[in-house]
Amino acid sequence: MLSPRQGLLRPVGCGVEELRRRRREREAALRRARREQQLVSKRLLRDDTPEEAEGGCVASVLGEAEIQQFLRLAQRGTEEKEREGALVSLRRGLQHPETQQTFIRLEGSMRTLVGLLTSNQALLQLEAARCLHELSHSEQSEVAEACLPATSYLLTYLAGHSADLISPHLAVLEALGYALSQLLQAKEAPKKIIPSVLASPIPERMLRLLQPGPKLNSGAAVEFAWCLHYIICSQVNNALLITHGAVSTLGLLLLYLAGTVQSSEDAGLELLVCPVLRCLSNLLSEEAVEAGGGQVQLRDERVVVSVFILLQFLLQKHPSLLPEGLWLLNNLTANSPSICTSLLSLDLIKPLLQLLPVSNVVSVLVLTVLCNVAEKGPAYCQHLWPGPLLPSLLDTLTFSDTEVVGQSLELLQLLFLYRPEAAQAFLQQSGLQALKRHEEEAQLQDRVHALQQTALHR
Amino acid sequence: MQLPPAVHARLAAGPGAAEPLPVERDPAAGAAPFRFAARLVRFPREHEFFEEGDVQRHLYLQDVLTGVAGVPERPRVPEFTCQMAGCCQVFDTLEDYEHHYHTLHRNVCSFCKRAFPSGHLLDIHILEWHDSLFQVLSERQDMYQCLVEGCTEKFKTSKDRKDHLVRHHLYPGDFRFDKPKKSKGPATSMAAMEVSTEALGDDGDTMEVCSEHVTPPPEPVGEKRSYRHRSV
């Protein structure tokens, strides 16, 4: 797996303090890069990691003849070590953009590499996969595009293998997914690459690899889930993905993750959470979901339950990802009386309120979900008061963030409208004083006054 | 964050949706100066909402890629030989052995000993090579199915199928049917992918996996596939 334990790649050991410091620096650099829309730059992934060349020689640009020689040796050499060595040399050369260009222009080179990727010699497969890694790091779109035709073939060949075997096949599958994910992040991807990916069998293959169960290869699944996310958020043709059953597959995967993420030793499953949440949330916003019956599937109570289990997990392990889970919850509840009813009947309002103090972004999202429930009318608000909601709202009114307070005011309006008794209780619990704090705030004034009127005239 | 105990039980139970409570909206809801309306939200690629998750993903990738420079340590064991009858391959890591076993011995045809990358391809091979009914039927109808799972095309001959695979599914053209002559070296993927050729009795010089000829074992070993009767 592309992870510390097995397979293709393994991290190098380091002292803890040093690691933390470096991580903070890297994180800052990545944030800066993303804001400048430079995060897709493959350079960033390798910037602090200059290759310590084995044997002390620096990788040089390879010419056509050299590439051909290495490929020939790799394919037909008699000694295993010789063949492996040829691929190592090729891989080093491929760090240079010039070599990459020469490689893709050479007839048959990609085919040979693909053949080596499916070799039954484990070491050759691994080295070939590393070559593919190098190519996928290219900034030049032609290089990335040259990798594409091989993908469908490789996916068929490699997907035949079951996940419980420790085999370089799995590492290769993962490398393929990673390479594809790099391709899909390119600036030109929505125009040039994604349409051809969508027209190929790749999406169906990817979805098959995302099907949950004991055979799930989590390393590959993570890479392909990110691929799917890049495709979906580019909004090229999500309706097509929906007809391929993307909503159904991702929904089942979500249930599976909720069921296993707490107990599982497999760190790979954790890594699936973020891309799966994103894919589902974005797909839900497509009209085609209604037509494809996706809404019906997602009304299944187990889906909303899974979201909460994952929210709990995120709170413990990755609180900065909570907004992603809440985004899905918003899209699930916005237009669904059934799911809002589930939230109430399964007693999930209280846990939701427990997330309010985490951050302003999280607060706003939590309040938005609660508004989704409240806006459906008196039958829903009846379950919101009496209860922990009003005390929580009185708390949020003490926050200074305008957006949080604003959303609290929206919720109060709905609550007072559909459950007038709540307005009474609000007054009795010093609600007016809480409102007064915000009387001067430009963005909040009108709503504050309106609420004061409503509360006093009940 | 404390979830009610019923929640985990609910996940384990079967599918089911809640009967929705009646919806009854008042036009005053969300009316000025208020503005709330329940709405679906979507975020495009570059949206800052994704910053956090993207940064975490890239941090993880950086962690992993720093390992690329070095060769991963692979625990070595004393040399041992593959125990499958007739196989002479020697290993000094378990990883290599498992890979070898999986590639060459797992999905093996018990008739002709050819190895296949997957059970699916093995099934097709058995059907096309060792089922006499198949031969009879294929004279009348298109029986050679496309190898790509999910593609329902069928063809009159295996050559037609190959053409389809190359043209439509972008399989490498010269890869699949290029048979090594009197091969003493390891079988490459091209031989392993083969499920049928034009000339049926064509197994003299293909797919030898080591220099000694593979002789059939006296009795089938546990995990080998045996011929299954296809009842379609």
Q: What is the pLDDT along chain B (232 residues), one digit of tens a residue?
A: 999 999 999 999 989 999 999 999 999 999 999 999 999 999 999 899 999 999 999 888 877 766 543 344 455 566 777 777 667 777 766 667 767 776 667 777 888 877 776 777 888 888 888 888 888 888 889 999 888 766 788 999 988 988 888 777 767 665 443 222 233 333 333 333 344 333 333 333 222 222 223 333 343 333 333 333 333 3
Buried/exposed code over B133-162 (b: 16+ C-beta within 10 A; e: otherwise): ebeeebeeeebbbbbbeebeeebeebeebb
In this complex, the residue of A149, A278, A351 whose CB is nearest that of residue B3 is A351
Nearest to B125 by CA among B187, B185, B176: B176
The larger pLDDT score, comparing residue A435 to residue A262, is at: A435
Nearest to B200 by CA among B125, B120, B123: B125
Nearest to A172 by CA among A112, A115, A236, A93: A115
Asked if B72's CB is within 8 angstroms of A351's CB, the reply is no
B65: phi then psi, degrees, rounded to nearest 5: -70, -20
Asked if B8's CB is within 8 angstroms of A309's CB, the reply is yes
Q: End-to-end CA distance of chain A: give it in Å, rounded.
A: 62
Asked if A300's CB is within 8 angstroms of B55's CB, the reply is no
Whole-angstrom CA distances from B112 to A404, B124, B227 are: 71, 14, 11
Asked if A299's CB is within 8 angstroms of B17's CB, the reply is yes
Q: Average pLDDT over chain A, rounded to whole?
A: 85
What are the residue ranges of helices labelled H in A193-266?
A: 194-199, 202-209, 218-233, 238-243, 246-260
Q: Distance between CA atoms of A205 and A312, rounded to whole angstroms?
A: 31
Nearest to A365 by CA among A418, A322, A429, A417: A322
Residue found by looking up tokens 């495709």 in the block: A231
In this complex, the residue of B2, B11, B61 whose CB is nearest that of residue A302 is B11
Asked if A201's CB is within 8 angstroms of B1's CB, the reply is no
Cα nearest neighbour of A284 on chain B: B40
Count CA atoms closer than 13 A to B56's CA, side-chain side. Answer: 16
Q: Give the ipTM.
A: 0.84
In this complex, the residue of B39, B55, B64 whose CB is nearest that of residue A34 is B55
Cα nearest neighbour of A337 on chain B: B20
Q: Distance between CA atoms of A96 and B39, rounded to whole angstroms?
A: 48
3-state secondary structure of A149: helix
3-state secondary structure of A361: helix
Chain A residues inside the 8 Å CB shell of B44: 233-235
A362: phi then psi, degrees, rounded to nearest 5: -65, -45
What the block records as the tokens of B212 is 């000694």
Mean predicted confidence (pLDDT) in A74-85: 88
